[in-house]
Amino acid sequence: MHMRTLFTFLFLSLAMAGFAQKKNMKPMLGYDKIYPYKESAAGRIAKVEKLGKMGFIKEDGEELVACKYDNIYPWEKGRAKVEIAGKYGFIREADGEEYIQVKYDYIGPFKNGLAIITNLGRRGLINEEGTEVVPLD
């Protein structure tokens, strides 16, 4: 009877250790760093880093934003500024879509629904949907 109890204890201990490893998805996902999960419009998401690039994953491990950005700035009003090689754009929090293409040298803060943009020394304005309401000139 004592051996059976010992065997059961060992079996359950090993099973729980295996379950804990499966539940902790960090190594399996292949990310270099996973930041804490936070509530968002897309559910619980975490910023991740992989080979020096940033993205976001959902709590179940599904990729929301591919790891292709050099920097992702904090979420603000359902969007986040993103950067690749010194160029800027925006992604949407709800679905991770890049809705303002990463092509501007500068995007200022939105005020009254508009933001100043610059590219190659030219300036213009975009609205919060990403439309150039005053084209670069």
Q: So what's the pLDDT on residue 84?
A: 98
More confidently predicted of 35 and 1: 35
Q: What is the pLDDT of residues 76-86, one digit of tens each?
A: 999 999 999 99
CA–CA dist 64, 50 (Å, integer): 14
Please say if the pLDDT value at position 17 is more than 90.
Answer: no
Residue-level pLDDT at 137: 86
Interval 88-116 mean pLDDT: 97
- Tokens 């020096």 -> residue: 52
Per-residue pLDDT, 31: 94
pLDDT of residue 70: 98
**What is the per-residue pLDDT for 114?**
97
Give 39-78 pLDDT, tens digit per residue. Answer: 999 999 999 999 999 999 999 999 999 999 999 999 999 9
Q: Please state whether beta strands 43-50 and 106-107 pair in parallel, antiparallel, or not at all (unpaired).
A: unpaired
- pLDDT reading at 15 higher than 80: no
58 burial class (0-12, 13-18, 19+ CB within 10 angstroms)?
Answer: middle
Contact assessment for residue 110 and residue 97, using Cβ atoms and an 8 Å cutoff: no
Q: Catalogue all structural domains in the chain, each as residue range(s) with its CATH number.
A: 29-134 (2.40.128)
When pLDDT is averaged across residues 21-47 and rounded to a whole number, the result is: 77
Q: What is the pLDDT of residue 115?
A: 97
108, amino acid identity:
G
What average pLDDT does the segment 91-119 reach?
A: 97
Residues 6 or more apart whose CB falls under 8 angstroms from that of 3 comprise none
